[in-house]
Amino acid sequence: MATSLLKYFRSSLKVPNRVGSHRSVCVRHSSNHFIHLCRDSPSLITQSYRLKLVTKSHIPSGRWISLAQSYSADDIVIVSTPPFAESVSEGDVRWEKSVGDFVNEDEQLGEIETDKTALPVPAPVSGYIEAFLVEDGEKVTAGQQLVRLRVSGDAQPPAPQPGTTSPTSTPPISVSPSSVSPSDVAPSSVQTELPTSMPPIPSAPKAPLSVTPTSSIKPRAAATGSPTGPSVMISGSRSEERVRMTRIRVRTAERLKTSQSLYAMLTTFNEVDMTNLIAMRKTHKESFSKKHNVNLSFMSPFIKAAAHALKDQPIVNAVIDHDSNEIVYRDYIDISVAVAAPKGLVVPVVRNVENMNYVNIEKAIADLVAKARTNTLEVDDMEGGTFTISNGGVFGSMFGTPIINLPQSAILGMHAVQDRPVAREGNVVIRPMMYLALTYDHRLIDGREAVTFLKKIKSAVEDPTILLMDL
């Protein structure tokens, strides 16, 4: 059994997950069973583990790393830039902590803002921030050293020795989220005798040191990219404040202007009667939420209707390859959903919508929106997409002409639902109506296909049974 366990120790492990005052890790044992290792004492940096076989449903959450690295109190750990996606080469760092702050393991030190998303910089161990090796707002690249941490098992700052600034001679340990290989875990890392008590605390200095209090060292506030941020108050003092645009907003602006310059954009409009959809949602939303643990919104019917229309008009799902002057037809439907995130507009992608029902779509949207609002979207969440839906109606927009999201060929704009008088069978009645706008690349999509596509969406929303009968 010991040999078998050591074999699995060399595979990927889970990051320690805090459960009360303990930490735990998991390693795969079989397809449905995992070995659960619980550390005996939370107060020490390195301890022995108790083993327990658990099922997949009892795995603590976390990301995959190796247990090859272990640390002692007062070790110096260098935190490096996390790995970037292939399409990203650099970013701007924004610190959320100050020099001298105590941070827990996995606590976010700051983030690196790239053209597409913000990458968190977590602390690999619990300890104190000794120094930032890169100033707030500076440009960084993959693998660059960012922060120097001093390992500590608790939040009590160690007393410095008189006349010294580095009480330890332990060489720095460079840590990067991708630098440790699972194969690096040796049997000795689990079987080695480990200390059972904290090292003695150095004596307090006899004379005060001439140092800057850590409480006075504050990180510079990161720019929100929005001119209506909390730091901008209209007071009538006739002063001005300049706020640097975030990388995401700069990149979004560039793409929007490129889209306007490249595409021959034309917008066609229609209106949809929301009576049946509102009635369906009112009837089933409580049971839907109770059974599937997700809310039923208007987005899933519109996304499903758009997928239905894209199957009928595949040219709207296609795109022009400008390098070869060819039309690229896709046999899959990935719909981008525009979301107003704290740092600007982001467009995460719901993939393979052609195979989804309302439940799958709502769960996918809820997950992406939650990531967008907490700035945890990854590059993979936003790459690709064959069609975009933007819902300005959530902000009360009644009418608008959306701009195509590169490198797609069309975008659907949803707007606010308002009661309006309409004619039905010779009578004027009040119905909840929504304007729809479809902006498309007229170089590729003719007016007939665009209008037919939009009418297909209108029909599927007004009568959801069309989707059931595939009409």
How much is the average pLDDT of 458-470? 86
pLDDT score, position 90: 80
| Residue with the larger pLDDT of the pair 124 and 2 | 124
Cβ(298)–Cβ(362) below 8 Å: no
Of 106, 292, 442, 463, the catalytic one is: 442
C-alpha to C-alpha distance for 116 and 249, rounded to whole angstroms: 9
pLDDT score, position 206: 52
pLDDT score, position 359: 93
pLDDT digits 0-9 by tens, 409-421: 999 999 999 999 9
Cβ(398)–Cβ(420) below 8 Å: no
How much is the average pLDDT of 116-145? 82
Please give the model's pTM, rounded to 2 decimal places.
0.60
Residue 147: pLDDT band with limits 50, 70, 90? confident
What burial letters (b/e) apply to 87-101, b meaning 16+ CB within 10 Å? ebeebbbbbbbebbb
pLDDT score, position 467: 82
Active site residue 284: no
pLDDT score, position 1: 39
pLDDT score, position 227: 42
What is the percent of the chain where pLDDT is above 90?
A: 33
Residue 125: pLDDT band with limits 50, 70, 90? confident
pLDDT score, position 238: 87
Residue 49: pLDDT band with limits 50, 70, 90? very low
| Residue with the larger pLDDT of the pair 77 and 333 | 333
| Residue with the larger pLDDT of the pair 39 and 333 | 333
pLDDT score, position 157: 53
Active site residue 446: yes
Residue 156: pLDDT band with limits 50, 70, 90? low
pLDDT score, position 79: 86
Q: What is the mean pLDDT of the chain?
A: 74
pLDDT digits 0-9 by tens, 258-292: 898 999 999 999 999 999 999 999 999 899 999 99
Structure tokens belonging to residue 67: 């247990």
> Which run of H or E residues covers position 253?
helix 247-262
Residue 201: pLDDT band with limits 50, 70, 90? low
Of 40, 184, 321, 446, the catalytic one is: 446
Most trustworthy range by pLDDT among 172-176, 322-326, 378-382:
322-326
How much is the average pLDDT of 355-365? 92
pLDDT digits 0-9 by tens, 286-332: 999 999 999 999 899 999 999 999 999 999 999 999 889 999 999 99
C-alpha to C-alpha distance for 179 and 119, rounded to whole angstroms: 17
pLDDT score, position 73: 64
If you search the block for the tokens 């044992």, which residue do you land on? 29
Instruction: Residue 393: name the closest of 274, 296, 309, 280 by CA.
Output: 274
Quick check: helix, strand or coil at residue 191? helix
| Residue with the larger pLDDT of the pair 338 and 6 | 338
